[in-house]
A = this chain, B = another copy of it.
Amino acid sequence: MAKHKTGIKPVLFTNVTISDSFWAPRIKTNREQTIPASYRQCRDTGRIEALKLQWKPGQEPVPHVFWDSDIAKWLEAASYSLAAHPDPELEAQVDGIIDLLEKMQQPDGYLNSHFIAVEPHKRWTNLRDSHEMYCAGHLIEAAVAHFQATGKRSLLNVLCRYADHIAKMFGTGPGQKRGYCGHEEIELALVKLYRATGEEKYLRQAQYFIDERGRQPHYFDDEARARGDDPAKYWAKTHAYTQSHIPVREQTEVTGHAVRGMYLCSAMADLAGELGDESLKAACERIWQHLTTKRMYVTAGIGSSGQNEGYTFDYDLPNETAYAETCAQIGLVFWAHRMLHLDCDSQYADVMERALYNSVISGVSLDGAKFFYENPLASTGQHHRQDWFGCACCPPNLARILASLGNYIYSEGENEAVVHLYVQSSGKLNVGGREVTLTQQTDYPWDGNVRIKVGLKQPQTFALKLRWPGWCSKASGLSVNNEQYRAEMVRGNYLRIEREWIDGDAVELRLGMEIDRVYANPKVRMNCGRVALQRGPMLYCLEGADNGVDLNALALPRDEELKARFDASLLGGVVTLLGQGIRASADGELYSFKRPTPCGVPLKAIPYCVWDNRAPGEMLVWMWEA
């Protein structure tokens, strides 16, 4: 196996302690509120009961084909949480579910509550629509997480048996079906399973799924005919919906269902790294370019349409009807993080950061109890977070990414230590076999000053690489041990400081954090003449609670200088942006030959990610610039 070309790998969240004022409270809320609430929802909606296989025809609710994936993502989140915070009650809940899964497993290794209890005759007959391997993939991720968190092999053994069953069923060998899943997920999960067990067969199985995808004759069509269905009557109309319209290496654009595409690309990036597969890497890079230069919201939301939970056409980024599913952005973080480890290029970290601070964390309320499935960039007040969803992918997906957020901050290599995200935290890195502790002290994302203390047992020469954020174009500075330092800016926009480090060395990075006006390319037709506000990694929005009704009637004058002010009492403590706007009077008729009279009004913007945490009302990211 080839190594990661960059020679760096992520520092696991178990070696990272986050202590900031932004993420730490959210991780605590996730542990104390979201994870228990998700368990209750899984229990109360029958998802846990379904694992007992006692469903009888006519009984409601009918276990759904993707219920196992909700259980799996909860198990994964709970495992991450247990790794950082032992909790006997939570561990008992986890063990209880694992026990049900063990008992559920069929002699041949098969494991799916719907297809065992409800439609046993339909097992593996509709990979296109039935989410069987998708559920398997999430269970594998859960098993790996549980093994790494607790050292227990209970769930891992169950899922190795299931993975072996799947590997026996699907492949190019004699008697095997040449299938793959309509909802990608198992591919990246099998790479994780390979890494956790060292069993190369799982990597090869992931490779098979990636290589087979989109080949002709098309498996989903053959499979439909075998079921007696007409492939031409496929409800989604195109295999681009599942990114299987052509082989993955030939793909150049994001297509179809956004979450599926992100999970696929994550696996492609994994395999590109593990196998040194340049053609997979090149495909990833093409698709990445397309996504980030033509189809991504300024919040890093992706997948603009609810119709296909995915993409429409280039630059079609409607604000009010934006789908931008929370899970899609989480998938984008997964993919960006993997790309970052193929090429230590800050463009990947920039998008990862943009998603995390904006359209991922907007998915959950400050109290951890309510969730957005869609993350629009404008609202007339019709959008509100909900307790749970029939299709409940987002809440446990948020739970697992928050519980493992430490994963995304640091990377370690033979001769280098890399900081991707500035978060007050402490990371224990393994640099050339020795432990290096990096301790960040910062008020990020509210302030751009970051002090990084290097902890070492003995002096060591290595390169400390610090990401230069894409948002930062303003006067900034770097010092080492209080002396100005001219660091080399290496390819990929990382500052590189190579020296012999001594315990207690301190690096200070001062990122000029100003209020920037963001303009969309005029091809984004809905944002012409409009402006968004950004400060550091945070996108801002206007909310009715601060600015009254008819937010579109508010314009930001071109020359207005907004001020940033930290408000400790607002929404958990946020920097607000204050200034004078112009409000067009709504007193007139519906249509008039007279331009509506403008008058000055105070204007207050809050970070996008905390909107809809007060009384329901309007919200607007792209405001009119006058």
Which A residues have a C-beta under 8 Å from some C-beta of B? 292-294, 296, 298, 313, 316, 380, 473, 516-526, 528-530, 534, 550-553, 555, 583-586, 588-596, 624-626
A-B contact pairs, 8 of them (CB 8 A): A294-B590, A380-B525, A518-B592, A519-B596, A521-B596, A522-B584, A522-B596, A528-B553
Taking a contact as CB atoms under 8 Å apart, the answer to whether A591 and B522 are in contact is: no
**Given A523-B553, A591-B518, A624 and B296 contact (CB-CB distance below 8 Å):** no
| Chain B residues positioned under 8 Å from A596 (CB to CB) | 519, 521-522
Taking a contact as CB atoms under 8 Å apart, the answer to whether A529 and B626 are in contact is: yes
| Chain B residues positioned under 8 Å from A520 (CB to CB) | 590-591
Question: Which residue of chain B has its CB nearest to the CB of A593?
Answer: B516
Taking a contact as CB atoms under 8 Å apart, the answer to whether A528 and B593 are in contact is: no
Report the minimal beta-carbon distance from A246 to chain B, rounded to whole angstroms: 25
Taking a contact as CB atoms under 8 Å apart, the answer to whether B519 and A593 are in contact is: yes
Question: Which residue of chain B has its CB nearest to the CB of A293?
Answer: B590
One complex includes copies of this chain to the number of 2
Taking a contact as CB atoms under 8 Å apart, the answer to whether B529 and A595 are in contact is: no
Closest 7 CB pairs of A and B: A522-B553, A525-B552, A529-B624, A528-B552, A522-B584, A516-B593, A522-B586
Bound-complex Cα distance A592 to B529 (A): 14
| Chain B residues positioned under 8 Å from A626 (CB to CB) | 529
Known A-B contacts: A294-B590, A528-B624, A534-B593. Give 14 more (CB < 8 A). Answer: A316-B380, A517-B595, A518-B591, A518-B592, A519-B593, A519-B596, A520-B591, A521-B588, A521-B589, A521-B590, A521-B596, A523-B550, A523-B586, A528-B553
| Chain B residues positioned under 8 Å from A584 (CB to CB) | 522, 528
| Chain B residues positioned under 8 Å from A530 (CB to CB) | 529
Report the minimal beta-carbon distance from A599 to chain B, rounded to whole angstroms: 12
Taking a contact as CB atoms under 8 Å apart, the answer to whether B593 and A518 are in contact is: yes
| Chain B residues positioned under 8 Å from A552 (CB to CB) | 522, 525-526, 528
Question: Which residue of chain B has its CB nearest to the CB of A626?
Answer: B529
Report the minimal beta-carbon distance from A404 to chain B, rounded to whole angstroms: 28
Taking a contact as CB atoms under 8 Å apart, the answer to whether B525 and A593 are in contact is: no
Question: Which residue of chain B has its CB nearest to the CB of A529?
Answer: B624
| Chain B residues positioned under 8 Å from A555 (CB to CB) | 528-529
| Chain B residues positioned under 8 Å from A473 (CB to CB) | 593
Report the minimal beta-carbon distance from A520 to chain B, rounded to whole angstroms: 6
Bound-complex Cα distance A75 to B293 (A): 55
Report the minimal beta-carbon distance from A472 to chain B, rounded to whole angstroms: 11
Bound-complex Cα distance A589 to B525 (A): 14
| Chain B residues positioned under 8 Å from A593 (CB to CB) | 473, 516-519, 534
Question: Which residue of chain B has its CB nearest to the CB of A539?
Answer: B591
Bound-complex Cα distance A38 to B594 (A): 43
| Chain B residues positioned under 8 Å from A528 (CB to CB) | 552-553, 555, 584, 624
Bound-complex Cα distance A555 to B316 (A): 19
Report the minimal beta-carbon distance from A132 to chain B, rounded to whole angstroms: 33
Bound-complex Cα distance A380 to B473 (A): 35
| Chain B residues positioned under 8 Å from A521 (CB to CB) | 586, 588-592, 596
Report the minimal beta-carbon distance from A250 to chain B, rounded to whole angstroms: 24
Report the minimal beta-carbon distance from A382 to chain B, rounded to whole angstroms: 9
Bound-complex Cα distance A521 to B550 (A): 10
Report the minimal beta-carbon distance from A238 to chain B, rounded to whole angstroms: 17
Report the minimal beta-carbon distance from A452 to chain B, rounded to whole angstroms: 27
| Chain B residues positioned under 8 Å from A529 (CB to CB) | 529-530, 555, 624-626
Report the minimal beta-carbon distance from A71 to chain B, rounded to whole angstroms: 32
**Given A380-B525, A528-B624, A529-B626, A592 and B519 contact (CB-CB distance below 8 Å):** yes
Question: Which residue of chain B has its CB nearest to the CB of A531?
Answer: B595
Question: Which residue of chain B has its CB nearest to the CB of A624?
Answer: B529
| Chain B residues positioned under 8 Å from A380 (CB to CB) | 313, 316, 525
Taking a contact as CB atoms under 8 Å apart, the answer to whether A585 and B294 are in contact is: no
| Chain B residues positioned under 8 Å from A588 (CB to CB) | 521
| Chain B residues positioned under 8 Å from A624 (CB to CB) | 528-529
| Chain B residues positioned under 8 Å from A625 (CB to CB) | 529
**Given A528-B552, A624-B529, A589 and B522 contact (CB-CB distance below 8 Å):** no
Taking a contact as CB atoms under 8 Å apart, the answer to whether A590 and B517 are in contact is: no
